[in-house]
Amino acid sequence: MNLIFKNAAIIDRNSPYNGKSADIQVQDGIITKIGSITEVSGHEVIELPGLHISGGWFDTSVSFGEPGFEDRETIANGLYVAAKSGFTDVAVQPNGIPVADKQADIAFLKSKAQGHATSLHPIGALTKGSEGKDIAELFDMKNAGAVAFGDYNKPIADANLLKIALQYAQDFDALIIAFSQDDKIKGKGVVHEGKISTRLGLKGIPPIAEELQVARNLLLLEYTGGKMHIPTITTSKSVQLIQEAKAKGLQVTCSVAVHNLVLTDEVLTGFDTRYKVLPPLRTEVERNALIEGVSDGTIDIITSDHNPVDIENKKMEFDLAKDGTIGLETAFGALMGVLPADTIVEKFTAAKRIFNIDAPAIAEGEKASFTLFTTQGSRIFTNRDILSKSKNTAFLGRELIGKVYGIYNNGKLILNK
């Protein structure tokens, strides 16, 4: 497929054309020319209003259900949704049945993703069955294509197990994902502990449930060395702890979920289970601290934390409903209400370096792998806009700013109409 993208505003810090508008010619998957380009025989011209092009976006936390929960989402449809949402790459969590804790499980995920525009990068379980008892086959899984190791939304209660995992992973330069939550303090909590939880009569999850575990995990990292990623933080103290750890020179990175940057626990007043997520939505004070952490570089990555849940597990009592919201389709438009476009792009692309994934620059001679979008316009997100098989979105009825046009990756162009 040979293409010419006309009059594109380029956002790519690694490109000599960053901040400039130009035409981009792509031939056989390679960028052959950037500049003013007239129509070339055998090339399709792509001209879109307010077109911006950046390096391909990468979502570091996506759940697709398959294998085991195909009713929630399949790999094929999940990758289609990701492409339509602007993501050239996604890291898939190991929370299917069986849990992806062996070389064969990683190979299965990779094989199911072949031929798609969006590339799938499996995360291997850190412990066997994600049960937190024994370390899984990390080295074999890395050889099969796993990009990191962690148990999705499950903390490692055994500090010695995490210590050994961090030490072992250094032998093959692996990234350890340490979800940070003290389950004893969380208890039966389902929402942020505060005024809203008290008013609603719902059991709360205090910020210290996260912060104690962040502090412990950072102390372990300081002792062992290695590389640690702390996903989906939600509190100002967590931001501060990670900032201090980075100042010490520790190899630690962290992410925040889109919904924690945009929403607060004020939305819970109607007991709508679409807003039941883990970690929970917190206060406006904490939300602002997360925004500041993104802006000053403490928070490295923004993730959709896309987690499809079937209706049977969402349309029920709040205490019993499963945690999770889908987020791929709304990630960019929701963030545009709270962050500038260049910051969003940076947080969607910087993760490739952290997870050791190829990130070609927008430059002549490089592989063409980029996201197409505009910052213009706005719309209300409705049920008709949901591409995922599950419909549990926290952003239904909300205004989204700008629009994702699609992606070009793996020699394939995926565009929204």
pLDDT, mean over the chain = 97
Count the neighbouring beta carbons within 10 Å of the beta carbon of residue 135. Answer: 18
Alpha-helix runs per DSSP H in 232-298: 236-247, 258-262, 284-295
Count the neighbouring beta carbons within 10 Å of the beta carbon of residue 264. Answer: 19
CB 25 within 8 A of CB 16: no
Relative to beta strand 44-46, strand 3-11 is parallel
Confidence at residue 38, expressed as pLDDT on a 0 to 100 scale: 85
pLDDT > 80? residue 417? no
Q: What percent of the chain has pLDDT over 70?
A: 100
Please name every residue paired with 134 in a beta bridge, in sequence order, or none if there are none.
none
Confidence at residue 148, expressed as pLDDT on a 0 to 100 scale: 98
Q: Tens digits of per-residue pLDDT, 119-144? A: 999 999 999 999 999 999 999 999 99
Q: Tens digits of per-residue pLDDT, 183-236? A: 999 999 999 999 999 999 999 999 999 999 999 999 999 999 999 999 999 999
- Answer yes or no: 305 catalytic: yes
62 HSE (CA, 13 A, CB side)? 32
Smallest Cα–Cα separation from 263: which of 321, 320, 335, 212? 335
Q: CA 388, 394, 396 angle in degrees (round to 5)?
A: 75
What is the full DSSP assignment across 189-209? Answer: --EESSHHHHHHTPPEE-THH
Among 158, 182, 305, 310, the active-site one is: 305
CATH number of 3-52+364-377+399-415: 2.30.40.10
Provide the 3-class DSSP secondary structure of residue 283: coil
Confidence at residue 40, expressed as pLDDT on a 0 to 100 scale: 83
pLDDT > 90? residue 248? yes
User: For 278-305, what is the mean pLDDT?
Assistant: 98
Q: Tens digits of per-residue pLDDT, 254-281? A: 999 999 999 999 999 999 999 999 999 9
Count the neighbouring beta carbons within 10 Å of the beta carbon of residue 277. Answer: 24
CB 355 within 8 A of CB 147: yes
pLDDT > 80? residue 323? yes
- pLDDT tier, 242 (very low <50, low <70, confident <90, very high otherwise): very high
CA distances for 111 relative to 107, 181, 311, 347, angstroms: 6, 33, 29, 28
Name the segment(s) of the chain with CATH classification 2.30.40.10: 3-52+364-377+399-415
Query: In the 8-state DSSP scheme, what is residue 213?
Result: H
What is the full DSSP assignment across 303-349? Answer: E--B----GGGTSS-TTTSPP-BB-TTTHHHHHTTTS-HHHHHHHHH
Q: Which fold has domain 57-354?
A: TIM Barrel (3.20.20)
Name the segment(s) of the chain with CATH classification 3.20.20.140: 57-354
CA distances for 58 relative to 14, 80, 156, 160, 379, angstroms: 16, 14, 26, 32, 24
Confidence at residue 404, expressed as pLDDT on a 0 to 100 scale: 98
Confidence at residue 42, expressed as pLDDT on a 0 to 100 scale: 87
User: What's the whole-model pTM score?
Assistant: 0.97
